[in-house]
Chain A
Amino acid sequence: MLAVQVARESQAVWALVRRNFHLIRRYLGWEVVFLFYNVVNTLTIGLIGLAMPAGTARNREVVYLAIGALLWNFLSILFQEVSNSVQWERWEGTIEYSFMAPIHRLTYLGGVCLWAVLYGLVRTVVVLLGVAFFFHISVGGADLVGAAMVLLASSVPFIGLGLMAAVLPLLSTERGAQATQVIQGVLLLISGVYYPVAVLPHWIGWASVLSPATYTLEYVRQAVLSGAGVVSLIPVSLGLLLSGVVLIPIGLIIFTVAERYAMHRGTLKRNG
């Protein structure tokens, strides 16, 4: 019985991943445009570093900025894919059908998250290739395995934050999607994507400790720029995983409560 249930839920996860893949194929033109913009945006940010006088510091600055742009690219895709999943279903009018299916909400959200991680990784690798081709940067002393470990660990809390943000379109048809953009903007501001968090004014700087992206950026940069090894990165990776273990159930609980609220208010349908 349990095996049947697991097989059924796995099939549902796969159905969600496959659906999103088909959607990407149908909107391929837009995908190319978004990808082109991502690559160009990352290059222009890296070029700011090239404005510095030639030398080791300049290379370091270019890599510092490129890491920020690449990581933000990955994490923001992750956050957006998860948080926009509900909004997307609303636009298409399919939300009632998806939510009426006899699967656990965790399964639905798990499918959305799995797709987000796969899609984010593919897009980020393409941008990375563009950056490597354009700047010819040497990262010989970098510990790329350690950087990848921190990055993957940071996906977990970001999924938790995405789940919390996905609640907003569930609660408000009109303003939910806008509110998720505000959350994303705040994370961009406080996480030290393009600058050390130490430069933030005190009244906002304290909030940087709350963002998982702050740690991701700091320790990926340590791995790439200073060659910090896997062993030294294990504590922060575990910390990020642990924060995800806390944030995902909280996100799921909030989502479930919000869904129940929507079912009381009748806002689950297309128009809210």
Chain B
Amino acid sequence: MGAMPAIPLDRVALEASGLKKSFREREAGERHWRQVDAVAGIDLVVPRREILGILGPNGSGKSTLIRMMATLLIPDAGYVRVFGLDATRDRMAVRRLINRVSVEASFFKKLTATENLAYATGLYGVSNRESQQEAARILERLGLPAQKLRVPLEQLSRGQQQKVAIARALLTSPNLMLLDEPTTGLDPKSRREVQEFILEVRATHDATIIISTHDMEEADRICDRVAIIDRGRFVALDTPKGLKSTYGQGGDSLEAVFFNLIGSTLEQDTIDA
């Protein structure tokens, strides 16, 4: 794993140490529960204004890790601190500093984008008028026509819904944005628009961004550092360039690094399946 730079505490956006989470699972037809380690000991320091990518195969622990950072899951061991506040003990204060975009654009599907955003921002104490103006600006920037704000979400494409989800997260002006596969299922143009917007948010909002993704090119393009997670553990953490020079064969793509590091796991999963 790449060496972790020493970062002054006042510049740390997120710190995780010894983080562990396991769940009980039972397959259909099985009698006994089994313990599955979703996150099996993660240490991480993310400086302010960094874009950190988390790459990993399905079931590697990416979403569980982001849920713990988002105060939605309580770790079995270890801690997450957001700007020095403990995500379990100081949950309320942490929640004021963060927001999240999940892989599913979760909305009240019968409500319009405007109504959904009014609800979501109302919970954060943002006034309706303020949120509508800002939402229109953000969505226009993301290429969503203004008239789409007034139709039920169920009538929007997945990509359009995801853009509304990104607007929802940004409207609360979070200092730390947790993006859980925000571009999955988006067409190349939308994906590129979202990526550009993420870079713009970091530049203009002084935001720190943690993004989980399957898209190697995306990680390479927008992330300052990339962590590769496998079976609940980081197997590498470095800049894209650093990863390629350390784990790549001849300095090739991030995809090659990914397969070099966890290819055996993917093969084993195929055999198990």
Which residues from chain A sit less than 8 Å from chain B, CB to CB? 7-9, 11-12, 14-16, 18-19, 22-23, 26-27, 92-94, 96-104, 260, 263-266, 268-270
Partner of B95, one of A7, A23, A102: A102
Q: Is B141 an interface residue (CB 8 A)?
A: no
Task: Tell me the number of A-to-B contacts counted with CB atoms below 8 Å.
Answer: 100
Say whether, besides A100-B70, A102-B95, A270 and B125 are in contact (CB < 8 Å). no
Q: Smallest CB–CB gap between A168 and chain B, Å?
A: 20
Contact A11 B72 (CB under 8 A): no
Q: CB distance A19 to B72 under 8 Å? A: no
Does B74 lie within 8 Å of A12, measured CB to CB?
no
With A and B bound together, what is the CA distance between A265 and B74 in angstroms?
A: 8
Instruction: Decide if B96 is an interface residue (CB 8 Å cutoff).
Output: yes
Partner of A102, one of B74, B96, B115: B96
* Cβ-based interface call for B23 (8 A): yes
Instruction: Please state if A97 and B120 are interface contacts (CB–CB under 8 Å).
Output: yes
A263 to chain B: which residues have CB within 8 Å? 72-74
A-contacting residues of B (Cβ < 8 Å)? 21, 23-24, 64, 67, 70-74, 92-93, 95-96, 98-100, 102, 104, 106-111, 115, 118-127, 152, 168
Are A15 and B122 in contact (CB-based, < 8 A)?
Answer: yes
Minimum Cβ distance to chain B for residue A179 (Å): 21
A15-B119, A15-B122, A19-B119 given; A100·B72 CB < 8 A: yes
Flag if A94 contacts B123 (CB, 8 Å). Answer: no
| CA A269 to CA B92, docked complex, whole Å | 19
> For residue A96, which residues in chain B have a CB less than 8 angstroms away from its CB?
67, 70, 72, 100, 102, 106
Contact of A19 with B115 in the complex, beta carbons under 8 Å: yes
A92-B108, A266-B64 given; A22·B123 CB < 8 A: no
Q: Is the CB of A12 within 8 A of B125?
A: yes
CB distance A94 to B106 under 8 Å?
yes
Residue of A nearest to B88 (CB): A263
**Which residues does chain B contribute within 8 Å of A264, judged by CB atoms?**
73-74
A266 contacts B73, CB within 8 Å? yes
Bound-state CA distance A104–B123 (Å) is: 10
B64 partner residues in chain A, CB cutoff 8 A: 266
With A19-B108, A268-B72 in contact, is A11–B122 under 8 Å at CB?
A: yes
Complex: how many Å from CA A264 to CA B20? 12
Asked if B111 and A19 sit within 8 Å, CB to CB, the answer is yes
Query: Distance (Å) between the CB of B85 and the closest chain A CB?
Result: 12
Q: Known contacts A15-B119, A18-B119, A266-B23; is A102 also within 8 Å of B124 by CB?
A: yes
Question: Are B71 and A23 in touch, CB under 8 angstroms?
Answer: no
**Are B120 and A27 in contact, with the CB atoms below 8 A?**
no
Q: Nearest-CB distance from B180 to chain A (Å)?
A: 10
For B63, the closest partner residue in chain A by CB is: A269
B119–A92 touching, CB < 8 Å: no
| Contacts A100-B71, A100-B95, A266-B23 given; does A23 touch B123 at CB 8 Å | no
